[in-house]
Amino acid sequence: MEREAGAPGYWDNPRQAQTNMQHLGRLKETVNLWRNLEKQTGSLLELTEMALDEGDYSFEKQLESEFNDLASTLAREEINLTLSGPYDDRPAIIMIHPGAGGTDSQDWAEMVLGMYANWAEAQKRPTQLLDLSHGDEAGLRSASLEVGGPHAFGYLSCERGVHRLVRLSPFDPNHLRHTSFALVEVLPAASEEETEVLVRPEDIKLDFFHSSGPGGQNVQKVSSAVRMTHIPTGLVVTCQTERSQHQNREYAMRILEARLLALQEQQRAEELAKMRGQRVSPEWGNQIRSYVLHPYQSVKDHRTNYQSTNPNAVLGGGLDDFIQAYLMSQVGKE
């Protein structure tokens, strides 16, 4: 691929050339990763053999530390081997909607958004808040967050479904226990070179309105918030994160393209299921995880039975063990 990139006429088709260069970049990262692991392993083995030959145990703690780091990296790469779907390496767009439960569920939706933002920050992944609609008293009516970095969609697709919270309500004057729900949707971002998702300008209806903040107060007098309707499918996307109307239109288009890509894949899956005689089960209604803050402390994933007794750490972004347990549970499944 490097030889091809240096050939005359390679950039005659700039879009294709850029796609190829991005692919080349990902391949180089993979090769460099394993070459470096090969060097680290060789160095570790050589140092271990020398220490054993000379009976020198002063390096024992250093060798154990290096071995543990190497084992962790290999474990992570083993997880990555499960991420072979066509969109697993794409950025992920997470959309969060509160369920029934009024202010408590809206507050829970905001907590869920913070959980994913914290996870992305700990992973040093780029994030972009695409949409944020505040609740009347507290919390959120909806939110959309784009998360980038390696295999973002592959990892975060494990999170789609219904998330349930049990706690003493801070909004109940009697401080009673409430159960709240939030629906998490995760879509792969449509890539810039995506040719299958074509959004024609004549298929888009745009409406503009005032952005609103907590308590229903107008954030500003300018109608910068955008409502984008895709006429052929009836899909509607709103975006009011930025003060710039142009920026909100751009974010709304990114969400719409991701929704169209997901709709296209869903239609393909349904057609395949009909050919196989299978019934397609809905994904969005499944309760995947419960977060209990009272009367005891627990987070349990109902698909894998993986459990943590530290919900504060999980809500602070500690999702890796849950994600890995789910991915490993899917190995060998169709």
Taking only the tens of pLDDT, the chain with its 334 residues reads 999 988 999 999 888 888 888 889 888 988 998 999 999 999 999 999 998 998 888 888 889 999 999 998 888 888 888 887 888 988 999 999 998 778 999 999 999 999 999 999 999 999 999 989 998 888 999 999 999 998 999 999 999 999 999 999 998 888 889 999 999 999 998 876 555 567 888 888 988 887 766 544 444 445 688 899 998 999 999 888 767 888 888 899 889 889 888 888 888 777 656 644 544 343 445 689 999 999 999 999 999 999 999 999 999 999 999 999 999 898 877 5
Tell me if residue 141 falls in helix, strand or coil. Answer: strand
The answer to whether 117 and 179 have CB atoms below 8 angstroms apart is no
Structure tokens at 294: 């009272």
| Distance, CA of 2 to CA of 10 (rounded, Å) | 11
Buried b (16+ CB within 10 A) or exposed e, 69-101: eeeeeeeeeebbebbeeebbbbbbbbbbbbbeb
Q: Give alpha helix (H) positions in 94-225.
A: 103-122, 152-156
pLDDT of residue 174: 84
Give the C-alpha distances (Å, rounded to integers) separating 49 from 46, 60, 63, 67: 5, 12, 11, 14
- Strand pairing category for 161-168 and 287-292: parallel
pLDDT of residue 196: 58
Q: Name the nearest CA neighbour of 106 among 215, 186, 211, 188.
A: 215
pLDDT of residue 330: 85
pLDDT of residue 284: 46
pLDDT of residue 282: 36
Eight-state DSSP code of residue 218: B
Eight-state DSSP code of residue 198: -
Q: Identify the bridge partners of residue 29 per DSSP, sorted by sequence position.
A: none
pLDDT of residue 100: 77
Count the neighbouring beta carbons within 10 Å of the beta carbon of residue 119: 22
- pTM, to two decimals: 0.73
* Cβ within 8 Å of residue 130, ≥6 positions away: 93, 144, 145, 146, 239, 241, 251, 252, 254, 255
For residue 229, give the H/E element and its range: strand 225-230
Lay out the sheet containing 235-239: strands in order across: 204-209, 225-230, 235-239
With both helix axes pointing from N to C terminus, report the angle between 60-80 and 14-54 in degrees, rounded to the nearest 10.
150
Residue 257's Cβ-side half-sphere holds a number of Cα atoms within 13 Å equal to: 23
